[in-house]
Amino acid sequence: MDRPAEIANAPHGRLGEVLEEYWGYDSFRPLQAEAMDCVLAGRDSLVVLPTGGGKSLCYQAPALAMPGVAIIVSPLISLMKDQVDALRANGAPAAFINSSLSPDERRKVTSLVRSGEVKLLYAAPERIVRDQTLQFLSSVDVSFVAIDEAHCVSTWGHDFRPEYTELGRLKQALPGVAIHAYTATAADRVQQDIISGLSLQTPELLIGSFDRPNLVYRVRRGTRKLEQIEQVIARHPGESGIVYCISRNEVERVAGQLKEAGIRAAPYHAGMADTARARNQEAFLTDHIEVIVATVAFGMGIDKPNVRFVVHAGMPKSLEAYVQESGRAGRDGLEAECLLLYSGKDPVLWRRMIEEGEPAAREGALRSLDEMQTFSSAVACRHRAIVEYFGQSFEKENCAACDCCLGELKLAAEPLVNAQKILSCVARLDQRFGAGHTAKVLAGSKDQNVAKFNHTELSTYGILRHEHGTTIRDWIEQLVGQGHLEKVGEYGVLQITAAGRQVLRGETTPVLLAPAKRVKESRSAAEDNWEGVDRGLFDALRELRSELAAERSVPAYIVFGDTALRDMARRRPTTTEAFAEVRGVGAAKLRDFGKVFLEAITQYCTTMGIATDVVEGGQ
């Protein structure tokens, strides 16, 4: 089996033993080796790897290979529990300390840390910087400190958290202890904030590729949101997915409509009671429901690798947020789908929320919102746009994994003529009005402001009256996205750029989309990760996984991820030695689950009369 996300060099020494024993891995993914070397060498580092790139392993494996206890700073109780459960299932000695524990339980954890029986200790940022905690840490052998979700330290980041700004104290409190920062999304300005905010000393910068080739990105105007969401769900029967909504009311409405349609869905937002929210999250993690409908309050603490689709029922507030949230699909490296549905109301809603939010983060948030709006209205490769936004180059001419490159976008007729009409109208408005007003003039609107400024007298008034107002507004945004127009100042006044003047002279033809209609989604040209997999066996193993997870009260992926199940259904091992070769089977998993899975595989293959121990297909 090809493993495109990995590099050829195999781990060595104690680190190699740890990877094999606890995770069943025999090679690295990109930049993991370099990141682990920094930890082992005691050098500060900032590691930016996309969601699903294996960030957690960069500190978990060295922690088990080094003397002392590693301190992992994590922002959410659910995230700590998730990672600690997964580590313990692999046989690794890990623990967390947070408000969910009783005083007796906290004392037991500190006792285990003092005795050296815990190798990874998770805690929240506000607890770590308490004087009492810092005194305790200075009395034990701390191997290093790992800061997860490190972008939270930056006011330019999409998820700024004031408590993260206190973590710079760790350098003074733990002299000589290296600090390593990890995040999935950080543009240059956020990277600099992380370095200064955490007081990192000449850190090693390890920035991975922001491209996620296994994700198929699609952007559509949300004209029939519920129907569009249901179409995505129908393409992934029985599989897990997330639907993000901007508001709590929309979460409740969409979740209710999906349940009425017979889909196993549940809501999740900060306005729900803690018990109800926790119950729905647990149901999603254990595959008792297929779809979680949520605000952005959901996700950071979720390490569910087999999410096969993410739908945004509204435009996110920033491209960083979109990459983070859509990146929760396909964390196992297998194919997944990401659909963004947007409308003109989305940025208005976000702008109001930003104005009511943290003052220190306002300027950065408003600029990020404009960048997200440009992405949503662009007519270009989505993968390229994301990668180049984060300052990296994109070499492929065609990503074969977005609506643009797959040829799903229907282009408008006469793009040059329509673009010239729009630009001419902006010129006749003396470049003093925004997109909304310009669209009304072009559509021949009887709006009172159009009449008030005598814009009914302009030669461009009603020049696009045969088009829907939404289409005109979309075209304006597409011209902004392609650099022919720009929005200036607080009110987003439209001004014509040098590229736009070339369009007016007929020297350049922009790309405009046809009015939104039903579009048939294409099959991605990305590698088909089902090659050689017996689907019936995969489904049988997935049922077995669910039963075992329910018995242990853990999420299904804690038992085995989809990648491991597909590899089993491809190799079809019948011996312990062959089962140990399956991707993701370490010593603990082999001991705990080997026998029952081997019995299931053997029984299925005998019943169906298919070959077993297929070594070649699993290489």
CA dihedral 610, 611, 613, 615 (to 10 degrees): -120
Residue 78 confidence (pLDDT) above 80? no
The pair of three-digit structure tokens given for residue 254, joined into one six-digit string: 């969409």
Taking the CA atoms of the chain, what radius of gyration do you get in angstroms? Answer: 26
Angle at 148 between CA 394 and CA 185, to 5 degrees: 20
For residue 83, the model assigns a pLDDT of 87
Residue 3 confidence (pLDDT) above 50? no
For residue 390, the model assigns a pLDDT of 86
For residue 369, the model assigns a pLDDT of 87
**pLDDT tens digits, residue range 545-580?**
988 988 888 888 889 988 899 999 999 999 999 999
Averaged over 45-67, what is the pLDDT?
Answer: 90
Residue with the bigger pLDDT between 482 and 264: it is 264
Residue 2 confidence (pLDDT) above 70? no
Q: Are 586 and 22 in contact (CB under 8 A)?
A: yes
Tokens 């605000």 identify what position? 295
Closest CA to 96 of 67, 128, 68, 66: 128
For residue 10, the model assigns a pLDDT of 44
Longest Cα–Cα distance of the chain, Å, equals 84
Task: For 156-217, give the secondary structure using H, E and C.
Answer: CCCCCCHHHHHHHHHHHHCCCCCEEEEECCCCHHHHHHHHHHCCCCCCEEEECCCCCCCEEE
The pair of three-digit structure tokens given for residue 431, joined into one six-digit string: 């470049």
The pair of three-digit structure tokens given for residue 578, joined into one six-digit string: 């062959």
Residue 203 confidence (pLDDT) above 60? yes
Arithmetic mean of pLDDT over the chain:
88
Residue 586 confidence (pLDDT) above 90? no
Q: Which CATH architecture has domain 215-389?
A: 3-Layer(aba) Sandwich (3.40)
**Sorting pLDDT into bands at 50, 70 and 90, what band is 302?**
low
What are the contacts of 606-609 at 24+ separation with CB within 8 A?
608/534, 608/536, 608/537
First to last CA, the chain: 4
- 415-504 has which CATH code? 1.10.10.10
For the chain, domain boundaries: 13-207, 215-389, 415-504, 535-618
Residue 11 confidence (pLDDT) above 60? no
CATH number assigned to the domain with residue range 535-618, chosen from the 4 options 1.10.150.80, 3.40.50.620, 3.40.50.150, 1.10.3720.10: 1.10.150.80
Residue 4 confidence (pLDDT) above 60? no
Query: Comparing 13-207 with 415-504, is the CATH topology the same?
Result: no
Tokens 């003529």 identify what position? 417
What secondary structure letter does DSSP report for 399? -
User: What DSSP string describes 263-286?
Assistant: --EEEE-TTS-HHHHHHHHHHHHT
SS3 55: helix
Residue 495 confidence (pLDDT) above 90? yes
- Look up the CATH superfamily of 13-207: P-loop containing nucleotide triphosphate hydrolases (3.40.50.300)
In the chain, % of residues over pLDDT 90: 53
**Sorting pLDDT into bands at 50, 70 and 90, what band is 5?**
very low
Averaged over 201-230, what is the pLDDT?
Answer: 92
Please report the sign of the dihedral spanned by the C-alpha atoms of residue 541, residue 544, residue 546, residue 551. negative
**Sorting pLDDT into bands at 50, 70 and 90, what band is 351?**
confident
**pLDDT tens digits, residue range 143-197?**
999 999 898 888 766 577 778 888 989 998 999 999 999 998 777 888 999 999 9
Q: Return all residues near 446 (Cβ < 8 A) that are at least 6 apart.
A: none
